[in-house]
A = this chain, B = another copy of it.
Amino acid sequence: MFSPIRSTKVYEQVIEQVKNMIIDGTLKKGDKLPSERELVEHLEVSRTSIREALRALQIIGLVECRQGEGNFIKQSFENNLFEPLSIMFMLQKSDPNEIMELRKIIEIETAAIAAKRVTSGELDSMIPLINILKNSKSEEERVKADKDFHYTIARASKNFLIVSILNAVSSLIDSFIKDARRKILVDKENVDVLAKQHKDIYLSLKDGDSKKASEAMRKHLDFANEYMMKD
């Protein structure tokens, strides 16, 4: 009697309701969702459908379940358990050049915006990263600092959408940085070249110079691209 289609529609409706409550402002960041039992009563659907919908919202990273307290709309969306964009990219067997193209599109202009909006706190947080890039003997540590450096610039743009998009492709950027650095660092002296490129980006941000910031970012990404094209 219960076909899968019907069941699909039920959980879709639950998600749709939560979505609409967010759009019309009924649900805000940090708000507690009604209990499972209340949702069952209000929406007149089975507890299973409610639980499926809630799980999906948790997996998407929109809702968090606090033990003994219930379900809440997340305060921060920085860490998404699942990155649909990254996974779909891998499934498409897409070309790594697309990641470079995306990085150039987003990061060059983002650097220009960040130069106007970066805070002194953000600038300060970049200094230890530059030091690691220059002085650390551990490539693993340098890869992490490299990624942190670029994500700090994204946050400095104060554009939530840009930050969210880069977070949504975080695994792709991560493996791209690792691959690019491995190819670049076949020439050992390139550690210093990369460290200097990052420092130049930092200095142009510190000067609040959008044009210099975007040029420094373009130079850095074009350099990486050149090595990615080899092999």
Contact = CB atoms under 8 A, between A and B. Distances in A.
9 tightest Cβ-Cβ pairs between the two chains A and B = A56-B56, A56-B59, A52-B55, A105-B109, A102-B161, A77-B88, A94-B160, A98-B159, A60-B84
Interface residues on A, range: 35 or more
A80 interface: yes
Contacts of A29: 91-92
Interface stretch (A8-16, A128-136, A189-197): A8-16
For the complex formed by this chain, how many copies does it contain in all?
A: 2
Given A82-B15, A161-B94, A59 B58 contact: no
B55 A91 contact: no
Interface of A: 3-5, 8, 11-12, 15, 19, 22-23, 27-29, 51-53, 55-56, 58-62, 65, 67, 73, 77, 80-82, 84-85, 87-94, 98-99, 101-102, 104-106, 109-110, 113, 159-162, 164-165, 168-169, 172
Contact of A101 (B23, B58, B102, B113): B113
Contact of A105 (B73, B162, B164): B162
Contact of A62 (B84, B98, B172): B84
